[in-house]
Amino acid sequence: MGRYLAKRLLLAIPILFGVSVIVFLFLRLIPGDPAQVMLGEKATPQALAEIRQEMGLDKPLYVQYSRYMVKLLQGDLGRSITSHTRVTEELGARFPATVELTIAAMIVALLIGIPAGIISATRQYSFFDNASMFVALLGVSMPVFWLGLMLLWFFSFYLGWFPMSARLDVSFDIPTITNLYVVDSILAGNWAALANSLWHLVLPAVALGTIPMATFARMTRSSMLEVLRQDYVRTARSKGLAERLVIAKHSLKNALIPVVTVIGLEFGLLLNGAVMTETIFAWPGIGKLAFDAIMQRDFPLLQGILLLVAAAFVLINLAVDMIYAYLDPRIHYE
Amino acid sequence: MLYLNSEQGFPGPAPAQPGLPAQPAPPAVTEPTPVGDNLAPQTTTLLRDAWRRLLRNRSAVAGMIVVGLLILVAVFAPLIAPHDPLAQDFDSRILPPSAGHLLGTDDLGRDILSRIIYGSRVSLAAGILSTALAVAAGVLIGAFATYYGGFWDNLAMRMMDIMLAFPQILLAIAIVAILGPGLTNAMLAIGIISIPIYARVVRSSILSLREKEFIEAARALGASDLQIIFKHLLPNCMGPLIVQATLGIATAIIEAASLSFLGLGAQPPTPEWGAMLNGGRHLLRQAPWVTAFPGIAIVVLVMGVNLFGDGLRDALDPRLKQ
């Protein structure tokens, strides 16, 4: 296990390195002057010179890259062009909001998707099975931004049950320790704030969680059906075990192995969906930040976001591989 | 339809699944190895089998019908649409659905139904063209890198890993940000970000095929690398590739709509479903239909493509054969 872990970690390094190269080249591959591209047509010569100076654009490419890497390894991602704050600061303030949203969406997806898949598999072709598989198909076929808008219209505008944007009502003041408001309000013992932040989370989390929910339901069902056909399940049944035990003790763990492997992938997809969801619910996370950065051509900020998100994705997949290897000892650590 | 074309173009044996032994019967050692057309009769049966399975699958047929109808709608849009999709009528702005405007009108008084009908052209074209680009590039990269193996294989696959390390939509947005907003660039961006999927599908098929006897035989008969790749290897990757591409079209349609929704794809006044959603967004409270209907159109089309794709996979997957 230790060797496998080390090997996987080592494999992640060239990928992260490649990611850094792409993000670096990203701006420099554009035809034309990067400084001009960043600042737009109306930039003053002075501002252009400043940017060129700061990014070392007058130096050869390899010098630029080594400077960029040295800074990167020191944790310096430069400054945002629009707000002039440090990119790292900006990321630190906004990333937790996305983490909170993504985890909430994943919880929604797992809590509904997996049980739905299990019930569907155990009652194959029943009404429940057909209905939930139809809903799951709808779920994977739906653009997340449209679902978000529809939820917003129905639950927020029409019924007035949920707030339409933001993470917390302005009347609440909680100390920001982790910047995950749910965690912070628990740490502060402020239960009203906890309830309020959870209340704000519901709609965006449901919108964002629907696609992975549908995927989990479909995967759990098909994987469970496959396991239920195995000999050891027949054995368990034939020795008179209660069906509940056959499902819970003999089938479930094996059936969930393929589901676990896609959790990592789904986290990546959630980061995708976060761009759209955060835009719709004005959720101050990294997806919204990325979109704004692109719209304002704030390339240093965008580079920072891309680096952070790609690194997070690589690490999540690494973690999933570990869990996978733990769950299924048949996997060779190669 | 994709499937029918491939039926005629299948010179080799059955579509191989990654990780499974390929279907062709291993030729006896003493016989000259059959290459290409010699296996045609068996191929036809296998494909006819798959086709029959597809037709027996009710949801796949439903998907085919939905997609077929929407293609007809796209082709005959000018004949079907009750109004001009671009005609603005300031006297009938933001009207709810009624007999005159079945799905209502938007804030410029344009008929939403007509815009949705014309929008099907854009969405279908965007889905199919960007997927075609991704398949073409992915197949070439996957086939050549895997066939030659070693350094090239490693290089290509690490490149694909790096691309997959980015969230797809963010990567697409970034590409469009560089190229400039517009439908063509959006399709290009979606095509580029989808390349790794197809490169990997082709790779996993070719890895198992590369060492097969019929490839060895082709080589012994003096076939060039190009001939082996295009005439013997690629035709055998078609099954998984077609399934993946069909499902990929569904994803590409959503991605194209997402980019347009963000204002990076189709530009106003082009009737495009994602752009229509964007236009209706600020009217959500007073006129939810402006947002609801284009979204429903997306869901129906994507669901049809997904049903068809799932059916294709079941039909082409020998493991599920009963």
pLDDT at position B89, please? 76
Q: How confident is the model at residue A330 (pLDDT cuts 50, 70, 90)?
A: low
Task: Name the minimum distance, in Å, from the CA of B215 to any CA of chain A.
Answer: 29
Task: Say if residue B212's pLDDT is above 60.
Answer: yes
Domain assignment present for residue A320? The answer is yes
In A, which residues are within 8 Å of B169 by CB distance? 272-273, 275-276
Q: How far apart are CA A277 and CA A102, in angstroms?
A: 10
pLDDT at position B8, please? 39
Interface probe for B, chosen from A146, A223, A298 (most Cβ of B below 10 Å), is A146
Q: Do A145 and B307 touch (CB under 8 A)?
A: no
Domain assignment present for residue A267? The answer is yes
Task: Let me know whether A64 and A105 are in one domain.
Answer: no
Domain assignment present for residue A292? The answer is yes
Interface probe for A, chosen from B162, B173, B286 (most Cβ of A below 10 Å), is B162
pLDDT average, residue stretch A111-134: 90
pLDDT at position B184, please? 92
Q: Do A18 and B168 touch (CB under 8 A)?
A: no
Domain assignment present for residue A255? The answer is yes
pLDDT average, residue stretch B91-120: 83
pLDDT average, residue stretch B108-133: 90
pLDDT at position B13, please? 42
Q: How far apart are CA B247 and CA B302, in angstroms?
A: 9
Q: Do A153 and B285 touch (CB under 8 A)?
A: yes
pLDDT at position A232, please? 86
Q: Quick one: closest CA in A to B280, which residue? A: A149
Among A29-33, A54-58, A131-135, A321-325, the range of highest mean pLDDT? A131-135
pLDDT at position B318, please? 57
Task: Say if residue A183's pLDDT is above 90.
Answer: no
Task: Let me know whether A60 and A118 are in one domain.
Answer: no
pLDDT at position B44, please? 64
Last residue of a domain, one of A73, A104, A129: A73
Check which CATH number belongs to the domain holding A149 and give it.
Answer: 1.10.3720.10
Q: Per residue in B16-48, pLDDT tens?
A: 444 444 444 444 444 444 444 454 555 567 778
B105: three-class secondary structure by DSSP = strand
Q: Quick one: closest CA in A to B253, which residue? A: A143
Task: Let me know whether A63 and A160 are in one domain.
Answer: no
Q: Which of A196-210, B65-79, B88-102 has the lowest mean pLDDT?
A: B88-102
Which neighbouring-strand residues pair with B105? B111
Q: Per residue in B155-201, pLDDT tens?
A: 888 888 888 888 888 888 888 877 888 999 999 999 999 999 999 88
Cβ pair B122, B133 in contact under 8 A? no
Domain assignment present for residue A333? The answer is no
Give the residue among B18, B106, B110 at the shortest CA–CA distance from B316.
Answer: B18
Last residue of a domain, one of A24, A40, A73: A73
φ/ψ of residue A97, rounded to 5:
-60, -40
Task: Let me know whether A66 and A197 are in one domain.
Answer: no
Task: Let me know whether A173 and A44 are in one domain.
Answer: no
Task: Let me know whether A155 and A231 are in one domain.
Answer: yes
Q: How far apart are CA B242 and CA B127, in angstroms?
A: 14
Q: Which of A157, A268, A305 sits opposite B285 (nearest CB)?
A: A157
Task: Name the minimum distance, in Å, from the CA of B107 to any CA of chain A.
Answer: 17
Task: Let me know whether A178 and A244 are in one domain.
Answer: yes
How high is the mean pLDDT of chain B? 81
Residue that has been written with the tokens 């997809």 in this structure: A269
pLDDT at position B189, please? 94
Q: How far apart are CA A40 and CA A46, in angstroms?
A: 13
- Which pairs with CB-CB distance under 8 Å and at least 24 residues apart come from A70-73? A72/A20, A72/A307
Number of domains in chain A: 2
Residues with Cβ < 8 Å from A267, sequence gap 6 or more?
Answer: A102, A106, A313, A316
Q: Does A30 touch chain B (CB under 8 A)?
A: yes
Cβ pair B43, B16 in contact under 8 A? no
Domain assignment present for residue A138? The answer is yes
Q: Do B166 and A310 touch (CB under 8 A)?
A: yes
Q: How far apart are CA B230 and CA B227, in angstroms?
A: 5
Last residue of a domain, one of A44, A73, A102: A73
Task: Let me know whether A139 and A231 are in one domain.
Answer: yes
Q: Which of A73-87, A180-194, B20-34, B121-135 has the lowest mean pLDDT?
A: B20-34
pLDDT at position B2, please? 37
Domains of chain B: 48-80+99-320 (1.10.3720.10)
Q: Does A152 touch chain B (CB under 8 A)?
A: yes
**Does residue B65 or residue B58 have the better pLDDT?**
B65
Measured CA to CA in angstroms, residue A58 lies from A49, A66, B212 at distances of 10, 14, 54
pLDDT average, residue stretch A248-275: 81
Q: Does A29 touch chain B (CB under 8 A)?
A: yes
Instruction: Write out the two tokens for A298.
Output: 């704030």
B322: three-class secondary structure by DSSP = coil
Task: Let me know whether A184 and A214 are in one domain.
Answer: yes
Percent of chain B predicted with pLDDT > 90: 26
B189: three-class secondary structure by DSSP = helix
Q: Quick one: closest CA in B to A280, which residue? A: B281
Task: Let me know whether A315 and A167 are in one domain.
Answer: yes
Task: Let me know whether A144 and A61 are in one domain.
Answer: no
Task: Let me know whether A131 and A279 are in one domain.
Answer: yes
pLDDT at position B42, please? 55
Count CB-CB contacts under 10 A for residue B141: 22
Task: Name the minimum distance, in Å, from the CA of A56 to any CA of chain B.
Answer: 20
Domain ranges, residue A27 = 2-73
Task: Name the minimum distance, in Å, from the CA of B33 to any CA of chain A.
Answer: 36
**Does residue A263 or residue B9 have the better pLDDT?**
A263
Q: Do B284 and A152 touch (CB under 8 A)?
A: yes
Q: How far apart are CA A46 and CA A35, in angstroms?
A: 11
